[in-house]
Amino acid sequence: MEKLYLVIPCYNEEAVLEETKKRLKEKMESLIKNKKISKDSKVVFVNDGSKDKTWEMIVKFHEEDSLFSGINLSRNRGHQNALLAGLMTVYPSADMVISMDADLQDDINVIDQFIDEYYAGNDIVYGVRSSRKTDTFFKRNTALMFYRMMEKMGVQIIYNHADYRLMSKRALEALSHFKEVNLFLRGMVPLLGFPYSVVEYERAERFAGESKYPLKKMLSFAFDGITSFCVKPIRFILFLGLFLFFCSLIILIYSLIRYFQGEVILGWTSLMVSIWALGGLQLFAIGVIGEYIGKIYMESKERPRFIIERYLEEKED
Ligand code: UDP
Ligand code: MG
């Protein structure tokens, strides 16, 4: 029987943790009883620098029950980094790892199917939301737009898949060789290859606490997703620049003709317009390029993507 680890990033989740712990314990016990997973399987909470009692609760869970374990990051690094910290810390001792959110919006009853797919020989099992009924109108549509845009830009991404997925040990081992700092896990995992399958589920509403993904974080996540995966925006600007260059040639010919016709004063309007239009475009282009240079800058530093303050795996004396 294979060992399963659940990895759950938590940021200010004291309102949901107690319930999450209860439900996960039931789930894990039934999986163990049905001989689907080994009894050494664990639930590992990753505390992403929470400001509330989250870490104290995790420590308590661990002391009460060896099923639970925890990783404390030295400060808040964001969902993706917290998730990666968890995955990279646990995979050497696990056979398969499932990542999910602390608010249990992802239906934990499909874990059985995840494991079946794993035993059927799949290294990666993506949890895909069958509908977005519980999302607000705004979130549903912006998310849809985001997936469409990623697709158009040629980033391979699983439609409506968030970070609820199972990965085998060897898939995680392969992921550990991806050294990038700008993390966008749902874009990185498909790059690994390996046999995979998809399991659909209904996403529930968060049962307590608030979303830790306000609009600002969501937008920056989407933006990072695009710029860390493709250089198409740069290429687009290159072509735009070329196109404008040809346009300006036509305008040059046009203004020369007007000049020889003796109507030079007329030029003022078009001059003003083109100065503004080109100035704007240039700034825009520099901004896009700057974005990529910024990424290169961050990557070239090779800073650690997370720092673990404490891992509850080692038994205390
Ligand atoms: N999260 C985290 N660090 C952060 C923000 C969020 O570890 O800086 C965790 C959070 O605790 C939760 C998961 O990421 O387990 C997803 O966040 P949330 O449920 O708030 O996002 P939503 O479901 O609203 O998109
Ligand atoms: Mg949530």
* Shared-domain flag, residues 283 and 256: yes
Q: How far is the CA of 255 from the centre of ligand 1 (A)?
A: 58
Same domain, 245 and 297: yes
Nearest to 48 by CA among 76, 81, 90: 76
Q: Is residue 51 part of a domain?
A: yes
**Strands of 308-311's sheet, edge to edge?**
196-201, 124-129, 161-168, 96-99, 4-10, 42-47, 68-73, 308-311
Q: Find the Cα–Cα–Cα–Cα dihedral 46, 25, 93, 63, rounded to 10°.
A: 70
Q: Are residues 200 and 258 in the same domain?
A: no
Does residue 143 sit in the same domain as residue 21? yes
pLDDT for 243 equals: 84
Atom of ligand 1 nearest to the CA of 162: 25
Residues 61, 65: Cα–Cα separation, whole Å = 6
Would you say residue 217 lies in a domain? no
Q: Give domain status of residue 244, yes or no.
A: yes
* Same structural domain, 288 and 201: no
DSSP tag of 203: B
**Residue 220 lies inside a defined structural domain of this protein:** no
Q: Is 117 in the pocket of ligand 1 (CB under 6 A)?
A: no
Q: Distance (Å, rounded) from C-alpha 127 to C-alpha 114?
A: 8
pTM of the model: 0.81
203 lines ligand 1 (CB under 6 A): no
Closest atom, ligand 1, to C-alpha of 209: 20
Q: Judge if the beta carbon of residue 11 lies within 6 A of ligand 1.
A: yes
**What gap in Å lies between CA 57 and CA 78, rounded to an integer?**
20
Regarding the beta carbon of 48 and ligand 1, being less than 6 Å apart is answered yes
185 and 46 in a common domain: yes
Does one domain contain both 61 and 201?
yes
Q: Is the separation of the CB atoms in 154 and 113 below 8 Å?
A: no
CA of 166 to the centre of ligand 1 (A): 18
The answer as to whether 219 is a domain residue is no
Domain containing 26 — which CATH number?
3.90.550.10
The preferred substitution site among 6, 57, 79 for testing ligand 1, maximizing ligand atoms within 8 Å of CB, is 79
Whether 258 is in a domain gets the answer yes
pLDDT at residue 31, as a whole number: 93
For residues 272 and 257, give the distance between their C-alpha atoms in angstroms, rounded to a whole number: 19
226 falls within a domain: no
Report how far ligand 2's centroid is from the alpha carbon of 143 (Å). 14
Digitized pLDDT (tens) for each residue of the chain, 317 residues in all? 899 999 999 999 999 999 999 999 999 999 999 999 999 999 999 999 999 999 999 999 999 999 999 999 999 999 999 999 999 999 999 999 999 999 988 899 999 999 999 999 999 999 998 877 777 788 888 888 888 888 888 788 888 888 999 999 999 999 999 988 888 898 889 999 999 999 999 888 888 788 878 788 888 888 888 888 777 787 788 788 878 877 877 877 877 787 787 766 666 667 766 777 787 788 788 888 888 888 887 788 788 888 888 898 755 44
Give pLDDT, residue 2.
92
What is the model's pLDDT at position 290?
83
Q: Structural domain tally of the chain?
A: 2
Whether the CB of 101 sits within 6 Å of ligand 1: yes
For residue 49, the model assigns a pLDDT of 93
Phi, psi (degrees; rounded to nearest 5) at 237: -70, -35
Query: What is the number of other CB atoms lying within 10 angstroms of the CB of residue 145?
Result: 11
Nearest ligand atom owner, CA of 206: 2
Residue nearest to atom 11 of ligand 1 (CA): 10
Q: Is residue 197 part of a domain?
A: yes
Domain of residue 244 covers 232-301
Same domain? 69 vs 192? yes
Three-class DSSP category at 166: strand
Residues within 5 A (CB) of ion ligand 2: 101, 103, 105, 206
pLDDT at 263: 67
Residue 105 alpha carbon to ligand 2 centre in Å: 6
**What are the C-alpha distances in Å from 175 to residues 10, 12, 88, 170, 187?**
22, 27, 9, 9, 12
Q: Which helix (H) or strand (E) holds 124?
A: strand 124-129
Decide: 127 in ligand 1 pocket, CB within 6 A: no
Is residue 10 located within the same domain as residue 93?
yes
Q: How many residues does the chain have?
A: 317
223 touches 30 (CB < 8 A): no
Same domain, 191 and 143: yes
Helix, strand, or coil (residue 1)? coil
Q: Tell me which residue of 185, 240, 209 sits closest to 17, measured CA to CA.
A: 209
Distance 237 CA to ligand 2 centre (A): 36
Rounded Cα–Cα distance for residues 15 and 210 (Å):
9
Cβ–Cβ < 8 Å for 88, 179: no
DSSP annotation of 110 reads G
Q: Reduced to 3 states, what is the DSSP secondary structure of residue 54?
A: helix
Alpha carbon of residue 1 to chain centroid? 31
β-pairing, 68-73 with 42-47? parallel
Per-residue model confidence (pLDDT) at position 268: 64
- My answer on whether 32 and 171 are in the same domain is yes
Distance 175 CA to ligand 2 centre (A): 24
Instruction: Say if CB 117 and CB 214 are below 8 A apart.
Output: no
**Distance in Å, CA 212 to ligand 1 centroid:** 5
Nearest ligand (C-alpha, residue 16): 1
Same domain? For 151 and 30 the reply is yes
